[in-house]
Chains A and B, each alone.
Chain A
Amino acid sequence: MLFLLTLLWLLQDFIQVFVMGIFLVPDIFLLSLILLVVLRQEHKDRQIILIWIAFFGGLFWDFRWTNLPGLTAAFNGGAVAAVAYFWYKAPVQGRTTILFAFYAVMAQALSGVLHYVFWNVESQVAIRQFLVQQLMSVPVLVILCLIFWRSSNSHV
């Protein structure tokens, strides 16, 4: 699992290198962690491992791409923990693809908004980068929802 998450982090990093200056890459790493935490990670120790992976992945991301080291780390750790908490509080029948999509969309949108607020600049470039990031996250969210849907169907 750690190897897979490292690959996903690097994938997000390589895409960001490729599109640097055009838009900010969607949070593929964070959304994948949210997918992993809701897919049969009912053991709390596994959830905790994912929370800390999210934190350190975010911290590395901050040192590579953002000027606010610790912000992505804090958000990633908090978001994975919050999703794990609310997901497993919900009754099993309610843990649907729609609920997963809701959490994933909220995580992506809040992550974008949080960074945008902390940038503290009113430049058109910053607004464009934020908006394009949100638009580009749509295909990622669709793919992750499909994976969740297939995976949850195959374990009914």
Chain B
Amino acid sequence: MALWDKEQKPWLHGAITVLLGFFILWIMILTPRLHFFLVDGVNTLLYYPEKPSMQLRNVVKYSSNWVLERATLNERVDQLELKNQALLEALQRAQVPVPEPKETFTPAQVTLRYAEAWWREIRVDKGARHGVVEGAAVTSDGHLAGRVSRVGDNYCWVELITSASFLMASAVDETRDLGVVNGDDMGNLQLLFIPEDRELKRGMTVSTSLMSELIPPGIPIGSILATEGTKDGFLQIRLSAGAHLTQLYSVEIFTGRRVQ
């Protein structure tokens, strides 16, 4: 008590703050739910004050990339129109009625990306109030970027395809071989469980396979970068992600085809 009573000692308060800080860190590691609750609380508190800064960032980003993105988007629209035309023709020949489009994608802005979890997860500004549900596919410029992992009212967390815990059923478009896409927390992607007798080549594209109502089949994931030998009877295939994951400022969340 003598330390405390006789004189105010700033160094003592400094030592207390250090110990308290590490104690809080320990508590947060032990109770992830409390951690997320507080993180989301502070993020919600700052949502409106940060809005002008967020908008300014988007204005700068979109204005600087406008010409380049426009050319890329036009090219993609042309390709999709041709593909759509071919599919419609095939449906007509098979005399299958053309269904009405039901899916929708909700655009969302990235509000948080931890440096230490750079390839694992992001937080975006759309949540349950906007129709976002857990497990829904998240795309960036038409390519799969991840999957919704946790949902709040006005926000949600997205597990990126490069996360080590991310597993997604997928198919090689050219050969229809089925495999599983998996990340490694370091920005690399691999395609697992393709039998070693299959002949896959660099540049072949990989897209989502029918997995659930929340992840429609056919969303492009990326392309084959290299086949690096075999292991346990399966090819070791490296993929290049189609989504620009290093510069992820905005995404689209699949909000159609709800699970009843």
Contacts and interface: CB of A to CB of B under 8 A. Distances in A.
Given A45-B8, A120-B116, A71 B15 contact: no
Given A18-B53, A63-B41, A74 B22 contact: yes
A102 interface: no
B21 A73 contact: yes
Nearest to B17: A77
A122 to B, nearest CB: 7
A67 B49 contact: no
A73 to B, nearest CB: 4
B20 interface: yes
Contacts of B11: 81-82, 84-85
A139 interface: no
Interface string A112-142: 0001001111111110011000000000000
Contact of A44 (B9, B56, B185, B248): B9
Contacts of B53: 14-15, 17-18
B43 to A, nearest CB: 6
Chain A: interface secondary structure? helix
A65 interface: yes
B48 interface: no
A126 B113 CA distance: 12
A121 B114 CA distance: 12
Interface residues of B, number: 52
A130 B118 CA distance: 13
B74 interface: no
B21 A125 contact: no
Contacts of A78: 14-15, 17-18, 21
B31 to A, nearest CB: 11
A47 B13 CA distance: 10
Contacts of A77: 13-14, 16-18, 20-21
Interface in B35-68: 35, 38-39, 41-43, 46, 49-50, 52-54, 56-57
Name the residue among A17, A78, A80 with the largest chain B CB count within 10 angstroms. Answer: A17
A51 B14 contact: yes
In the A-B complex, list the 4 residue pairs whose CB atoms are closest, starting with the nearest.
Answer: A81-B14, A74-B21, A77-B17, A70-B24
Given A14-B53, A77-B13, A126-B116, 19 more contacts: A18-B56, A20-B57, A21-B249, A44-B10, A54-B17, A55-B17, A64-B43, A70-B22, A70-B25, A77-B17, A77-B18, A77-B20, A78-B14, A81-B17, A82-B11, A84-B10, A118-B116, A119-B116, A126-B115
Interface of A: 10, 13-15, 17-21, 24, 44-45, 47-48, 51-52, 54-55, 58-60, 63-78, 80-82, 84-85, 115, 118-126, 129-130
26 contacts: A13-B49, A14-B52, A17-B54, A17-B57, A20-B110, A24-B115, A44-B10, A47-B10, A59-B21, A60-B42, A63-B38, A63-B39, A64-B39, A64-B42, A67-B114, A67-B116, A68-B28, A71-B21, A71-B25, A73-B24, A74-B20, A77-B17, A120-B116, A121-B115, A125-B115, A126-B118
